[in-house]
Amino acid sequence: MAHIIGSVSTSHVPAIGGAIARNLQQEPYWKPFFDGYPAAREWVQGARPDVVVIIHNDHGLNFFLDKMPTFSVGTAAVYDTADEGWGIPALAPAPGNPELAWHMVESLVADEFDITTCQEAQIDHAVSLPLALLWPEHQARGEWPVEIVPVCINTVQAPYPSAARCWRLGQSIGRAVESWDSDKRVLIIGSGGLSHQLDGERAGFLNKEFDLKFMDSLVHDPEWVTQYSNDELVELTGTQGIELLMWVAARGALDGAASVTKKHSNYHIPISNTATGLLVLEAA
Ligand code: DHB
Ligand code: FE
């Protein structure tokens, strides 16, 4: 059966794409952010993933306000990257893994998650930037060393699924991957958050204390955050801070592992309007 090697959860901010394109990684503004990633890359290289299940939110590229699935899974053979309006360069298309994707669709629906199946989809900065941060040499060559299965959670238009439900979605993803008849090694990526609010009266709102408590909880007490309703999470982390749901689902996918060990973390505020976090967990 396929093996889940662990998870990497990371913030995504479109400006990261601009910084990579302009080689600004060593600039004082960017350095504390980019310096978080070499240790994550080292762990990923050693863990040798073949396939990545990347749990992300779409930002108006695939789904708009007229049609908004709560959960979706991409079953495409290839995903073009696109920019939904930030002016950042599109990166290389990412190969999919339709075999795992269809197995996940079957397994998730059997598990009573009524997901939308996307046989065609584009990927925005929430998928392309974590790939670029983990595999910069490949990105520079215009290729990726892994296949992806994108899982999208709606955090754009209310109502959003609760943290408790995203935790259970993650558990179901974990069961799906672990019942896939394959010798592939699977990495889970959670792409979103942490605290940020892009507009409105509280634009620029960040909550370092909550973010650090949340990151810490994912190591030893991962269901801690499920005590909060989404209204409470928005109050605590800002309107877009709700993207932390990706981290909850990614951690849920490791719940079936005998042990989960923290390998690396980084936290830096702000990048653009966002509190950026990075957490690497090894599953055994
Ligand atoms: C920013 C953060 C996001 O998560 C996003 O999707 C877009 C913009 C920002 O901080 O600029
Ligand atoms: Fe976002």
What pLDDT is attached to residue 231? 98
What pLDDT is attached to residue 170? 99
What pLDDT is attached to residue 263? 98
What pLDDT is attached to residue 158? 93
pLDDT in tens, 86-128: 999 999 999 999 999 999 999 999 999 999 999 999 999 999 9
Nearest to 6 by CA among 63, 47, 42, 46: 47
What pLDDT is attached to residue 239? 97
Q: What is the pTM of this model?
A: 0.98
**Inter-residue long-range contacts of 216-221, CB under 8 Å, 24+ positions, other chains counted:** 218/9, 218/247, 218/251, 218/279, 218/281, 219/260, 219/262, 219/281
Sign of CA dihedral 134, 139, 141, 142: positive
What pLDDT is attached to residue 217? 98
Q: Residue 222: is the preceding peptide bond cis (ω within 30°)?
A: no
pLDDT along the chain (284 residues), means of 10: 98 97 98 98 98 98 95 98 93 98 98 98 98 97 98 96 98 98 98 96 97 97 98 98 98 98 98 98 98
Residue 277 near residue 267 (C-beta atoms within 8 A): yes
What pLDDT is attached to residue 118? 98
CA of 100 to the centre of ligand 1 (A): 30
How deeply is 98 buried, as exposed, middle or buried, from its count of CB atoms within 10 A (0-12, 13-18, 19+)? middle
What pLDDT is attached to residue 59? 96
What pLDDT is attached to residue 100? 98
Query: Which sequence spans correspond to the domains of the chain?
Result: 3-283
Across 25-41, b (16+ Cβ under 10 Å) vs e yields: eeeeebeebbebbeebb
Strands 274-283 and 3-10: antiparallel
What pLDDT is attached to residue 127? 98
Per-residue tokens: 52: 């990545």
What pLDDT is attached to residue 147? 98
CA-nearest residue, atom 3 of ligand 1: 13
CA of 258 to the centre of ligand 2 (A): 32
Residue ranges lining ligand 1, Cβ < 6 Å: 12-15, 59, 196, 198, 240, 243, 272-274
Nearest atom (ligand 1) to Cα of 12: 4
Residue 86 in 3-state DSSP?
coil
What pLDDT is attached to residue 255? 98
What pLDDT is attached to residue 177? 98
**For the structural domain made of 3-283, what CATH number should be given?**
3.40.830.10
Nearest atom (ligand 1) to Cα of 270: 10
What pLDDT is attached to residue 137? 97
- CA–CA gap between residue 20 and residue 139 (Å, rounded): 10
Give the largest Cα separation in the chain, rounded. 50
- CA–CA gap between residue 225 and residue 56 (Å, rounded): 18
What pLDDT is attached to residue 196? 98
What pLDDT is attached to residue 234? 98
Active site residues: 125, 196
What pLDDT is attached to residue 142? 96
